[in-house]
Amino acid sequence: MSTLENAPEGHGPVLRMESVRKTFGDSVVLRDVHLEVAPHTVTALIGASGSGKSTLLRCANLLEEIDDGAIWLDGEEITDPRADQDAVRRRIGVVFQAYNLFPHMTVLDNITLAPRRVHGVARAEAEERARELLERLGLAGKADAYPDRLSGGQQQRVAIVRALAVRPRLLLLDEITAALDPELVGEVLEVVRGLKEEGMTMVLATHEMGFARDVADQVCFLDGGVVLERGSAEQVFGEPRHERTRRFLRRIVEAGRL
Amino acid sequence: MTVVKGEPAPEGADDTGDMTRGGPGGDGYVPSERRLARERHRRARARRATAIAALSTLVTAALLYLVVVNAPGWPRTKETFFSAHYAREAFPKVLEGLWLNLRLLLVCGAAVLVLGMLIAIARTLRGPVFFPLRVLAAAYTDFFRGLPLIINLMIVVLGVPALRLQGVTVDPVLLGGTALTLTYSAYVAEVFRAGIESVHPSQRAAARSLGLTSRQTLRHVVLPQAVRRQVPPLLNDLVSLQKDTGLVSIGGAVDAVRAADIIVGRSLNYTPYIVAGLVFVALTIPMTRFTDWVTARMDRRRAQGGSL
């Protein structure tokens, strides 16, 4: 039995966005964004910094309120003002670029906080599952350490465990390797690969093009808040339709990142 | 003085420790002549700095002594402010009064922490329902931080009994304690609020995306970090409160200050004030040292991480 199995699943896309628009003051960060994420697939959001990748993820988790359009999670509209936002967030795991671990708690407490306080799991059971996950991600000895004592790669893996501990339906990964030293990137990406094999549905914003091409079932190229190109990894990386995509990929190749 | 260049070297710096630092490597490391010379120089500089500090202290002390003793009024001052006879008489009385200050500190301190925290939380609550609460809390802190403590005390200690309300105490200790709590809650609320606002928004975002409600986020993620950060300024306010408990004497409560006052009134010798002042200082020093210790310990724990 997999320890990472998903919550009971519905039919159709796990996440669906339609005509999503989001502005901060005068700047339009997302305009008319459409997205569909099928169960057990990985969607990679690529694009330059400021193209709206992170905002899109934050909107999907209701950390940002969208201006227009709608978002569905398992067929249920979560942007309905009457929707229970806490209940929605309970079903979505998020891993942040800067880890955002709670510095005043041990690794174990970081991981068991939500299962215990939000999902009402008994401490012993929550800790057992946390230790199991830590062990799987090669962090068995770190349960009682404080986050500050861990390397960036270890902290990010703990953050992944924390997101997984509540058995989310969907995992959002926001440039999770962007803050890591190059030699630590691999260990974190390896974890994501493992999760894909277990069938976790994921949406990830990333600058790691090689990884995106390798792991993603669907790649979306964002440019100026628009999903300019959406298709399989082969399509988007192999034969991009838009000039902007081609230019972006060329720059990436020149920088030696692909 | 051109002798001491640069910063004063730490006295008794562990020069010997420097020497052996390369040793345990087991790589047959032998300190170079350059390193040994450098360390000799550092030791010499440290010795010189210590000597200069000692000399300068001695000269300053001697000067101060001479200035005070040679002041025209010194014999008179010595008698009225530093009389051993009156000090002996005042000391036990002052200590007796101090017990009241200590009890006030304990009770008011606890009340201030609770009330201050509630006000701080009220000020950070979002949502339209809490609008009146937010406004009240803001008005409270604005008012009581601005109102001089002594005026607050007089209004409460003298004004409340004048109302002759049924069932309301006229005990100057209780009323004085209430006034202290009112003022200090406002200070402490601001300290807590600063702490709450210093917790980075990404912490809140992480907690909310785990599904924690805003109340759970406040309780498990924001407040623990806020309080930890604010321990030094909180203890600072408590030290301040400790001194200000002396002000309840204006209502006639016999605390350390009032006990000294009584003797002064009888003898026209001011030594008891000096005694009371020194007792307060003596009480404050352990508190400040405790503050330093707690702060240092928190820094260490964060750095070590796993030890607790």
Which pLDDT tens digit goes with each residue over B137-182? 999 999 999 999 999 999 998 888 888 888 788 888 899 999 999 9
Find chain B residues with C-beta within 8 A of A89's C-beta: 208-211
- Fold adopted by B84-302: MetI-like fold (1.10.3720)
Give pLDDT tens digits for A210-239. 889 989 999 999 998 999 999 999 999 988
C-beta neighbour count of A12 within 10 angstroms: 12
**A57, A88, A100, A150: best mutation site toward chain B, by most B Cβ within 10 Å?**
A100
Say whether pLDDT at B7 is over 60.
Answer: no
Do residue A253 and residue A178 come from a single domain? Answer: yes
Q: What is the pLDDT of residue A253?
A: 84
Do residue A162 and residue A189 come from a single domain? Answer: no
> Hey, what are A244's tokens?
């902007």
Do residue A175 and residue A57 come from a single domain? Answer: yes
| A37 in Cβ contact with A16 (< 8 Å) | yes
Angle at B150 between CA B147 and CA B156, to 5 degrees: 85
Do residue A180 and residue A143 come from a single domain? Answer: no
Q: What is the pLDDT of residue B12?
A: 44
Which of A145, A168, A191 is the last residue before a domain boundary? A168
Do residue A102 and residue A160 come from a single domain? Answer: yes
> Hey, what are B217's tokens?
């986020």
Do residue A177 and residue A147 come from a single domain? Answer: no
Which of A168, A191, A223 is the last residue before a domain boundary? A168
Give pLDDT tens digits for B185-220. 999 999 999 999 999 999 999 999 999 999 999 999
Which of A137, A168, A199 is the last residue before a domain boundary? A168
**A84, A85, A90, A104: best mutation site toward chain B, by most B Cβ within 10 Å?**
A104
* Number of structural domains found in chain A: 2
- Predicted model pTM: 0.79
Q: What is the pLDDT of residue B14?
A: 44
* CB burial string B145-159: b at 16+ within 10 A, e below: eeeebeebbeebbee
Say whether pLDDT at A5 is over 70.
Answer: no
Q: What is the pLDDT of residue B23?
A: 52
In a domain, A213, yes or no: yes
A231 lies in which domain range?
38-66+84-91+169-258
Do residue A241 and residue A181 come from a single domain? Answer: yes
> Hey, what are A226's tokens?
């628009």
| A98 in Cβ contact with A177 (< 8 Å) | no
In a domain, A20, yes or no: no
In a domain, A13, yes or no: no
Do residue A177 and residue A247 come from a single domain? Answer: yes
| d(C-alpha B1, C-alpha B7), whole Å | 13
- Nearest chain B residue to A85 by CA: give it: B211
Say whether pLDDT at B223 is over 80.
Answer: yes
Domain chopping of chain B, boundaries: 15-69, 84-302
Q: What is the ipTM of this complex?
A: 0.87
| d(C-alpha B249, C-alpha B252), whole Å | 5
Q: What is the pLDDT of residue B167?
A: 79
- Could you tell me if A104 lies within 8 Å of chain B, comparing CB atoms? yes
Which of B209, B212, B213 minimises the CB distance to A94?
Answer: B209
Do residue A191 and residue A122 come from a single domain? Answer: no
> Hey, what are B165's tokens?
């309300």
More confident residue, B17 or A192: A192
Q: How many CA atoms lie within 13 A of A174 on its CB side?
A: 28
Q: A170 phi and psi, to 5 degrees?
A: -145, 140
| d(C-alpha A128, C-alpha B286), whole Å | 44
